[in-house]
Amino acid sequence: MVMDSFCYWCTAFNIDGSRFDLGVTLGREGHGFDPGSGFFDAIRQDPTLSTRKLISEPWNIGPDGYQVGNHPPGFAEWNDKPDPALRGKVLAPFLGAAYGEELQAGKIRLAYRADEGRFVIEYYSNVFPVCPVNYPAVMQEAPELAQRFSGLTTQPADQPRVVDARTALATIAQTEGGQAAIEAILAAHAPDTPAVCWSASTSGWHGGALPPTK
């Protein structure tokens, strides 16, 4: 059934692979885990499935349930050990290139949604809301506006304050002075500003191999 389901998704929807939760289960034989199990052999010999990305979560509950490093060739593993090369870095797989390159190219940008009273990060068609807790840092060019978000947390008890602050921001942003303040904030985060150039050159963020959504 697993083979049939995977084959259907690959052929009907052209998915490029699958991550198998608790993948050790798929390698169990009567004597325990076997990297040459019937399932692993079948999927590696299939002309369609063997060409897809195969990622196993290499553990489950049961005897010999921890099998990191023991899967057959062709299978990547969801490793539970940190890669020293990634220490101090953040993986952003939605990026089409390194974070610094995309930032300086102006593809990652801060925007303000006037109808929602909130700041967002835009990357092509991707939109990521900025957490109101971070607004004081984003809005340093407009300290009076930033003060409304000072001391906020992500705790449920603070949500009424978040709503009130965003409502006030949306109202103020419609005034001439508010519009000027928003423009100053956005200008401070433009790709050619010193702060952004510094962030791009020192950032530990790395994009994956995925192309940007257009």
Residues 186 and 112 in one domain: yes
Q: Cα-atom radius of gyration of the chain, to the nearest Å?
A: 24
State the alpha helices, DSSP H only, in 14-156. 38-45, 99-104, 135-138, 143-147
What number is the average pLDDT over the span 84-101? 72
At 185 the pLDDT is: 92
Total domains present in the chain? 2
Residues 69 and 127 in one domain: no
Residues 135 and 62 in one domain: no
Is residue 49 included in any domain, yes or no? yes
Is residue 71 included in any domain, yes or no? yes
124: three-class secondary structure by DSSP: coil
Which band of pLDDT confidence, cut at 50, 70 and 90, is reported for residue 39?
very high
What number is the average pLDDT over the span 189-195? 70
Which band of pLDDT confidence, cut at 50, 70 and 90, is reported for residue 195?
low
| Domain of 27, in residue numbers | 2-81
At 208 the pLDDT is: 40
Is residue 152 included in any domain, yes or no? yes
Residues 159 and 120 in one domain: yes
Q: Which residues contact 121 (CB under 8 A, 6 or more apart)?
A: 108, 109, 110, 111, 127, 128, 129, 130
pTM score over 0.75: no
Is residue 102 included in any domain, yes or no? no
Which band of pLDDT confidence, cut at 50, 70 and 90, is reported for residue 90?
low
Residues 76 and 111 in one domain: no
Is residue 134 included in any domain, yes or no? yes
Residues 76 and 6 in one domain: yes
When mean pLDDT is compared across 22-36, 80-94, 191-205, the lowest value belongs to 191-205
Residue range 126-154, pLDDT digits in tens: 888 888 888 998 899 999 889 889 998 88
Is residue 13 included in any domain, yes or no? yes
Is residue 181 included in any domain, yes or no? yes
Nearest to 142 by CA among 111, 173, 103: 173
Is residue 91 included in any domain, yes or no? no
Pairwise CA distance, residues 196 & 35, whole Å: 48
